Structure 1
Amino acid sequence: MSTPRDIAHAMQRAVGVFTRRPDMGLHDDAAARASWQHGTRIVAAHASGTRIESDMPVELGGTGDRPSPGWFFRAGIAACTATAITMVAAEQGIALDHLEVEVGSRSDTRGLLGMRDADGAPVDACPASMRVDVVLHAQDVEAERLHAVVQEALRRSPMQGALLGQPPLTVDVATTPARAA
Protein backbone atom coordinates (compact mmCIF):
# COMPACT_ATOMS: atom_id res chain seq x y z
CA MET A 1 0.00 0.00 0.00
CA SER A 2 1.35 3.43 -0.92
CA THR A 3 1.90 5.94 1.84
CA PRO A 4 1.55 9.71 1.39
CA ARG A 5 5.37 9.84 1.32
CA ASP A 6 5.51 7.22 -1.48
CA ILE A 7 2.94 9.18 -3.48
CA ALA A 8 4.80 12.47 -2.94
CA HIS A 9 8.13 10.91 -3.98
CA ALA A 10 6.59 9.41 -7.12
CA MET A 11 5.12 12.81 -8.01
CA GLN A 12 8.49 14.51 -7.41
CA ARG A 13 10.21 12.00 -9.73
CA ALA A 14 7.60 12.61 -12.43
CA VAL A 15 7.96 16.39 -12.08
CA GLY A 16 11.73 16.00 -12.46
CA VAL A 17 11.35 13.96 -15.65
CA PHE A 18 8.75 16.29 -17.16
CA THR A 19 10.81 19.36 -16.25
CA ARG A 20 13.70 17.94 -18.28
CA ARG A 21 11.48 16.48 -21.01
CA PRO A 22 8.11 18.29 -21.20
CA ASP A 23 7.26 16.35 -24.37
CA MET A 24 7.06 13.16 -22.31
CA GLY A 25 4.07 14.53 -20.41
CA LEU A 26 1.78 14.30 -23.43
CA HIS A 27 0.68 10.73 -24.11
CA ASP A 28 -2.22 8.67 -25.34
CA ASP A 29 -4.39 7.44 -22.48
CA ALA A 30 -5.46 3.81 -22.29
CA ALA A 31 -8.49 3.40 -24.51
CA ALA A 32 -11.73 1.90 -23.25
CA ARG A 33 -13.39 -0.47 -25.69
CA ALA A 34 -17.11 -1.11 -25.37
CA SER A 35 -18.82 -4.03 -27.06
CA TRP A 36 -22.54 -4.58 -27.43
CA GLN A 37 -23.67 -7.90 -25.97
CA HIS A 38 -27.46 -7.87 -26.39
CA GLY A 39 -30.36 -5.57 -25.62
CA THR A 40 -28.78 -2.59 -23.87
CA ARG A 41 -26.05 -4.73 -22.21
CA ILE A 42 -22.55 -3.41 -22.96
CA VAL A 43 -19.18 -4.70 -21.80
CA ALA A 44 -16.32 -2.21 -21.58
CA ALA A 45 -12.79 -3.57 -21.43
CA HIS A 46 -9.35 -2.26 -20.51
CA ALA A 47 -6.16 -3.61 -22.11
CA SER A 48 -5.31 -5.18 -18.71
CA GLY A 49 -8.31 -7.48 -19.08
CA THR A 50 -10.52 -5.60 -16.61
CA ARG A 51 -14.13 -5.69 -17.79
CA ILE A 52 -17.21 -3.85 -16.60
CA GLU A 53 -20.77 -4.48 -17.66
CA SER A 54 -23.43 -1.82 -17.99
CA ASP A 55 -27.12 -1.98 -18.76
CA MET A 56 -30.03 0.40 -18.78
CA PRO A 57 -32.93 0.41 -16.34
CA VAL A 58 -35.97 -1.70 -17.15
CA GLU A 59 -37.93 1.47 -18.00
CA LEU A 60 -35.53 2.09 -20.91
CA GLY A 61 -35.41 -1.47 -22.24
CA GLY A 62 -32.60 -2.89 -20.13
CA THR A 63 -32.56 -5.49 -17.39
CA GLY A 64 -31.65 -3.01 -14.66
CA ASP A 65 -29.25 -5.54 -13.13
CA ARG A 66 -26.08 -3.54 -13.90
CA PRO A 67 -25.14 0.11 -13.41
CA SER A 68 -25.90 2.41 -16.32
CA PRO A 69 -23.10 3.99 -18.37
CA GLY A 70 -24.02 7.32 -16.72
CA TRP A 71 -23.27 5.84 -13.30
CA PHE A 72 -19.84 4.70 -14.51
CA PHE A 73 -19.27 8.26 -15.78
CA ARG A 74 -20.07 9.65 -12.32
CA ALA A 75 -18.00 6.92 -10.66
CA GLY A 76 -15.03 7.85 -12.86
CA ILE A 77 -15.35 11.50 -11.88
CA ALA A 78 -15.61 10.54 -8.20
CA ALA A 79 -12.58 8.25 -8.39
CA CYS A 80 -10.53 10.79 -10.36
CA THR A 81 -11.41 13.54 -7.87
CA ALA A 82 -10.52 11.33 -4.89
CA THR A 83 -7.23 10.37 -6.54
CA ALA A 84 -6.33 14.00 -7.23
CA ILE A 85 -7.17 14.97 -3.63
CA THR A 86 -4.99 12.12 -2.37
CA MET A 87 -2.10 13.24 -4.55
CA VAL A 88 -2.33 16.93 -3.61
CA ALA A 89 -2.62 16.06 0.09
CA ALA A 90 0.44 13.79 -0.15
CA GLU A 91 2.37 16.48 -2.01
CA GLN A 92 1.60 18.90 0.85
CA GLY A 93 2.57 16.38 3.54
CA ILE A 94 -1.01 15.85 4.69
CA ALA A 95 -1.90 12.33 5.83
CA LEU A 96 -5.59 11.89 5.25
CA ASP A 97 -7.57 9.86 7.79
CA HIS A 98 -10.77 9.79 5.76
CA LEU A 99 -11.82 10.71 2.22
CA GLU A 100 -15.08 10.14 0.38
CA VAL A 101 -16.21 11.73 -2.86
CA GLU A 102 -19.76 11.43 -4.14
CA VAL A 103 -20.75 12.67 -7.59
CA GLY A 104 -24.38 13.11 -8.48
CA SER A 105 -26.18 14.62 -11.40
CA ARG A 106 -29.65 15.62 -12.52
CA SER A 107 -30.57 14.58 -16.04
CA ASP A 108 -33.57 14.79 -18.34
CA THR A 109 -34.08 11.36 -19.91
CA ARG A 110 -36.02 12.97 -22.75
CA GLY A 111 -32.66 13.99 -24.27
CA LEU A 112 -31.50 10.36 -24.50
CA LEU A 113 -34.81 9.50 -26.15
CA GLY A 114 -34.36 12.25 -28.78
CA MET A 115 -37.39 14.19 -27.60
CA ARG A 116 -38.03 17.89 -28.01
CA ASP A 117 -39.11 20.50 -25.48
CA ALA A 118 -42.48 22.31 -25.67
CA ASP A 119 -40.85 25.01 -27.84
CA GLY A 120 -39.56 22.40 -30.31
CA ALA A 121 -35.91 22.59 -29.23
CA PRO A 122 -34.10 19.28 -28.72
CA VAL A 123 -33.74 18.35 -25.05
CA ASP A 124 -30.06 18.13 -24.08
CA ALA A 125 -28.90 14.60 -23.34
CA CYS A 126 -26.16 15.81 -20.99
CA PRO A 127 -26.79 16.24 -17.28
CA ALA A 128 -28.54 19.51 -16.47
CA SER A 129 -26.40 19.82 -13.35
CA MET A 130 -23.73 17.93 -11.47
CA ARG A 131 -22.65 17.97 -7.86
CA VAL A 132 -19.44 16.83 -6.15
CA ASP A 133 -19.60 16.24 -2.40
CA VAL A 134 -16.29 15.72 -0.61
CA VAL A 135 -15.91 14.55 2.98
CA LEU A 136 -12.35 14.42 4.29
CA HIS A 137 -10.39 14.57 7.50
CA ALA A 138 -6.73 14.80 8.45
CA GLN A 139 -5.56 14.92 12.05
CA ASP A 140 -4.47 18.42 13.14
CA VAL A 141 -5.15 19.99 9.72
CA GLU A 142 -7.41 23.04 9.63
CA ALA A 143 -10.60 22.95 7.58
CA GLU A 144 -9.42 25.90 5.45
CA ARG A 145 -6.30 24.01 4.41
CA LEU A 146 -8.32 20.92 3.50
CA HIS A 147 -10.68 23.10 1.45
CA ALA A 148 -7.65 24.48 -0.39
CA VAL A 149 -6.41 20.93 -1.07
CA VAL A 150 -9.79 20.05 -2.59
CA GLN A 151 -9.84 23.18 -4.77
CA GLU A 152 -6.31 22.51 -6.03
CA ALA A 153 -7.19 18.86 -6.71
CA LEU A 154 -10.26 19.90 -8.70
CA ARG A 155 -8.08 22.25 -10.74
CA ARG A 156 -5.68 19.38 -11.51
CA SER A 157 -8.22 16.58 -12.02
CA PRO A 158 -8.20 15.40 -15.65
CA MET A 159 -11.87 14.46 -15.56
CA GLN A 160 -12.89 17.79 -14.03
CA GLY A 161 -10.80 19.44 -16.73
CA ALA A 162 -12.58 17.46 -19.44
CA LEU A 163 -15.97 18.49 -18.06
CA LEU A 164 -15.07 22.16 -17.84
CA GLY A 165 -12.77 22.44 -20.87
CA GLN A 166 -14.80 20.34 -23.29
CA PRO A 167 -11.86 18.97 -25.29
CA PRO A 168 -12.37 18.50 -29.03
CA LEU A 169 -14.06 15.21 -29.89
CA THR A 170 -13.21 13.32 -33.06
CA VAL A 171 -15.56 10.54 -34.11
CA ASP A 172 -14.56 7.98 -36.73
CA VAL A 173 -17.18 5.50 -37.95
CA ALA A 174 -16.47 2.24 -39.77
CA THR A 175 -19.15 -0.15 -40.94
CA THR A 176 -18.71 -3.88 -41.22
CA PRO A 177 -20.80 -6.47 -43.03
CA ALA A 178 -23.31 -8.31 -40.85
CA ARG A 179 -22.10 -11.65 -39.51
CA ALA A 180 -23.99 -14.77 -40.49
CA ALA A 181 -25.99 -16.22 -37.60
Structure 2
Amino acid sequence: MGADTVSDNIADSIAAALERVETVLRRRPDKGLADDAPATAEWQGRTRVVARHANGKEMATDMPKELGGTGDEVSPGWLFRAAIASCAVTSVALLAAREGVALDQLEARVDSTSDARGMFGMVELDGTPVSAAPCDMRLHIRIAARGVSTARLRALVETGCGQSPIPCAVQIASPMSLHVQVDDA
Protein backbone atom coordinates (compact mmCIF):
# COMPACT_ATOMS: atom_id res chain seq x y z
CA MET A 1 0.00 0.00 0.00
CA GLY A 2 1.58 3.32 -1.11
CA ALA A 3 1.75 6.53 0.88
CA ASP A 4 -0.93 8.14 -1.32
CA THR A 5 -3.30 5.23 -0.67
CA VAL A 6 -2.76 5.43 3.10
CA SER A 7 -3.29 9.20 2.98
CA ASP A 8 -6.47 8.76 0.90
CA ASN A 9 -7.79 6.15 3.36
CA ILE A 10 -7.16 8.48 6.30
CA ALA A 11 -8.85 11.39 4.51
CA ASP A 12 -11.80 9.13 3.64
CA SER A 13 -12.17 7.94 7.24
CA ILE A 14 -12.01 11.54 8.52
CA ALA A 15 -14.60 12.63 5.95
CA ALA A 16 -16.87 9.70 6.90
CA ALA A 17 -16.59 10.49 10.62
CA LEU A 18 -17.38 14.16 10.00
CA GLU A 19 -20.35 13.23 7.83
CA ARG A 20 -21.76 11.03 10.62
CA VAL A 21 -21.38 13.83 13.17
CA GLU A 22 -22.93 16.40 10.82
CA THR A 23 -25.89 14.08 10.17
CA VAL A 24 -26.52 13.73 13.91
CA LEU A 25 -26.21 17.49 14.46
CA ARG A 26 -28.69 18.26 11.67
CA ARG A 27 -31.24 15.93 13.30
CA ARG A 28 -30.40 16.91 16.87
CA PRO A 29 -28.97 20.45 17.00
CA ASP A 30 -29.07 20.29 20.82
CA LYS A 31 -26.28 17.69 20.68
CA GLY A 32 -23.91 20.34 19.32
CA LEU A 33 -23.64 22.22 22.60
CA ALA A 34 -21.28 20.59 25.10
CA ASP A 35 -18.95 21.70 27.85
CA ASP A 36 -15.30 21.67 26.77
CA ALA A 37 -12.69 19.85 28.84
CA PRO A 38 -11.38 22.27 31.46
CA ALA A 39 -7.78 23.43 31.41
CA THR A 40 -6.36 23.58 34.92
CA ALA A 41 -3.19 25.57 35.57
CA GLU A 42 -1.23 25.22 38.81
CA TRP A 43 1.52 27.56 39.95
CA GLN A 44 4.78 25.71 40.60
CA GLY A 45 6.73 28.64 42.05
CA ARG A 46 8.47 31.66 40.51
CA THR A 47 6.81 32.04 37.09
CA ARG A 48 6.47 28.33 36.26
CA VAL A 49 2.96 26.98 35.75
CA VAL A 50 1.81 23.49 34.76
CA ALA A 51 -1.40 23.25 32.75
CA ARG A 52 -3.32 19.97 32.89
CA HIS A 53 -5.96 18.49 30.62
CA ALA A 54 -8.72 16.35 32.10
CA ASN A 55 -7.05 13.32 30.43
CA GLY A 56 -3.87 13.87 32.49
CA LYS A 57 -1.66 15.43 29.81
CA GLU A 58 0.47 18.28 31.12
CA MET A 59 2.30 21.24 29.63
CA ALA A 60 4.62 23.54 31.55
CA THR A 61 4.97 27.25 30.85
CA ASP A 62 7.43 29.77 32.18
CA MET A 63 8.26 33.37 31.52
CA PRO A 64 11.42 34.59 29.83
CA LYS A 65 14.40 35.50 32.00
CA GLU A 66 13.72 39.23 31.49
CA LEU A 67 10.42 38.78 33.33
CA GLY A 68 11.79 36.67 36.19
CA GLY A 69 11.35 33.23 34.66
CA THR A 70 13.87 30.64 33.59
CA GLY A 71 13.01 30.79 29.91
CA ASP A 72 13.21 26.97 29.89
CA GLU A 73 9.58 26.46 28.85
CA VAL A 74 7.27 28.13 26.37
CA SER A 75 5.50 31.23 27.61
CA PRO A 76 1.71 31.33 28.08
CA GLY A 77 1.55 33.83 25.20
CA TRP A 78 3.34 31.41 22.88
CA LEU A 79 1.00 28.62 23.96
CA PHE A 80 -1.95 30.90 23.10
CA ARG A 81 -0.52 31.56 19.62
CA ALA A 82 0.20 27.85 19.17
CA ALA A 83 -3.43 27.07 20.06
CA ILE A 84 -4.64 29.51 17.41
CA ALA A 85 -2.29 28.06 14.77
CA SER A 86 -3.00 24.39 15.54
CA CYS A 87 -6.76 24.96 15.71
CA ALA A 88 -6.71 26.76 12.35
CA VAL A 89 -4.69 23.96 10.72
CA THR A 90 -6.99 21.31 12.19
CA SER A 91 -10.12 23.10 10.96
CA VAL A 92 -8.75 23.60 7.45
CA ALA A 93 -7.60 19.95 7.31
CA LEU A 94 -11.04 18.76 8.41
CA LEU A 95 -12.74 20.92 5.78
CA ALA A 96 -10.33 19.67 3.12
CA ALA A 97 -11.19 16.07 4.05
CA ARG A 98 -14.93 16.87 3.90
CA GLU A 99 -14.50 18.43 0.45
CA GLY A 100 -12.23 15.66 -0.86
CA VAL A 101 -9.17 17.90 -1.24
CA ALA A 102 -5.93 15.95 -0.80
CA LEU A 103 -3.52 18.36 0.85
CA ASP A 104 0.21 18.24 0.20
CA GLN A 105 1.08 20.98 2.67
CA LEU A 106 -0.73 22.89 5.41
CA GLU A 107 1.03 25.07 7.94
CA ALA A 108 -0.01 27.99 10.11
CA ARG A 109 2.09 30.58 11.88
CA VAL A 110 0.70 33.11 14.33
CA ASP A 111 2.77 36.09 15.30
CA SER A 112 1.81 39.09 17.33
CA THR A 113 2.96 42.38 18.75
CA SER A 114 2.55 42.96 22.47
CA ASP A 115 3.25 45.84 24.83
CA ALA A 116 4.81 44.49 28.06
CA ARG A 117 3.70 47.64 29.89
CA GLY A 118 0.19 46.15 30.04
CA MET A 119 1.43 43.29 32.25
CA PHE A 120 2.55 45.89 34.78
CA GLY A 121 -0.70 47.87 34.78
CA MET A 122 1.03 50.87 33.23
CA VAL A 123 -0.77 53.72 31.49
CA GLU A 124 -0.13 55.92 28.48
CA LEU A 125 0.81 59.58 28.97
CA ASP A 126 -2.89 60.49 28.68
CA GLY A 127 -3.79 58.05 31.49
CA THR A 128 -5.26 55.38 29.19
CA PRO A 129 -4.41 51.89 30.48
CA VAL A 130 -2.04 49.89 28.28
CA SER A 131 -3.70 46.60 27.37
CA ALA A 132 -1.99 43.38 28.43
CA ALA A 133 -3.49 41.71 25.33
CA PRO A 134 -1.53 41.44 22.10
CA CYS A 135 -2.23 44.61 20.13
CA ASP A 136 -1.82 43.00 16.72
CA MET A 137 -2.11 39.33 15.78
CA ARG A 138 -1.43 37.83 12.37
CA LEU A 139 -2.42 34.33 11.21
CA HIS A 140 -0.42 33.14 8.19
CA ILE A 141 -1.51 29.96 6.40
CA ARG A 142 0.60 28.10 3.86
CA ILE A 143 -1.26 25.49 1.82
CA ALA A 144 -0.65 23.35 -1.26
CA ALA A 145 -2.65 20.66 -3.03
CA ARG A 146 -1.82 19.27 -6.46
CA GLY A 147 -4.46 19.98 -9.07
CA VAL A 148 -6.43 22.40 -6.88
CA SER A 149 -6.75 26.03 -7.95
CA THR A 150 -5.36 28.89 -5.90
CA ALA A 151 -8.86 30.34 -5.59
CA ARG A 152 -10.27 27.09 -4.21
CA LEU A 153 -7.42 26.69 -1.71
CA ARG A 154 -7.79 30.31 -0.59
CA ALA A 155 -11.55 29.77 -0.12
CA LEU A 156 -10.86 26.53 1.77
CA VAL A 157 -8.55 28.38 4.18
CA GLU A 158 -10.96 31.29 4.66
CA THR A 159 -13.93 28.99 5.30
CA GLY A 160 -11.91 26.65 7.52
CA CYS A 161 -10.56 29.50 9.64
CA GLY A 162 -14.08 30.94 9.84
CA GLN A 163 -15.19 27.64 11.40
CA SER A 164 -12.16 27.28 13.68
CA PRO A 165 -13.06 27.72 17.37
CA ILE A 166 -9.90 29.35 18.71
CA PRO A 167 -9.31 31.84 15.88
CA CYS A 168 -13.03 32.68 16.00
CA ALA A 169 -12.88 33.21 19.78
CA VAL A 170 -10.04 35.68 19.28
CA GLN A 171 -11.70 37.49 16.39
CA ILE A 172 -15.00 37.99 18.20
CA ALA A 173 -13.37 38.46 21.62
CA SER A 174 -15.50 35.89 23.45
CA PRO A 175 -16.58 37.13 26.86
CA MET A 176 -14.95 35.40 29.80
CA SER A 177 -16.35 35.55 33.30
CA LEU A 178 -14.00 35.57 36.28
CA HIS A 179 -14.78 33.47 39.37
CA VAL A 180 -12.49 33.80 42.40
CA GLN A 181 -12.26 31.34 45.30
CA VAL A 182 -9.99 32.36 48.18
CA ASP A 183 -8.76 29.46 50.32
CA ASP A 184 -7.16 29.55 53.76
CA ALA A 185 -3.36 29.41 53.55
TM-score by length of structure 1 reads: 0.95
> Runs ≥4 in structure 1, deviation > 6 angstroms?
none
**Superposition pairs for residues 13-162 of structure 1, below 5 Å?**
13-162=20-169
CA distance, structure 1, for counterparts of residue 73 and residue 113 of structure 2: 20
CA distance, structure 1, for counterparts of residue 65 and residue 120 of structure 2: 14
1:167 is matched with: 174
- What secondary structure does 1:134 align onto? strand
CA distance, structure 2, for counterparts of residue 62 and residue 125 of structure 1: 18
Gap runs ≥5 in structure 2: 1-6
Shift of 1:24: 0.5
Question: For each residue in 1:8-63, what CA deviation from the matched residue of structure 2 results, as whole angstroms up to 9, or x when unmatched?
Answer: 11110001111111101000001100000000000000011110000001111111
Aligned letter for 1:12? E
Match of 1:7 among 14, 17, 40: 14
Question: For each residue in 1:65-85, what CA deviation from the matched residue of structure 2 results, as whole angstroms up to 9, or x when unmatched?
Answer: 111000000000000000001
Between the two proteins, the alignment pairs up a number of residues equal to: 178
TM-score by length of structure 2 reads: 0.93
Question: Aligned-residue CA RMSD in angstroms?
Answer: 1.1
- Percent of paired sites with the same residue: 46
Question: For each residue in 1:85-122, what CA deviation from the matched residue of structure 2 results, as whole angstroms up to 9, or x when unmatched?
Answer: 10111111001011110011100010011111121111
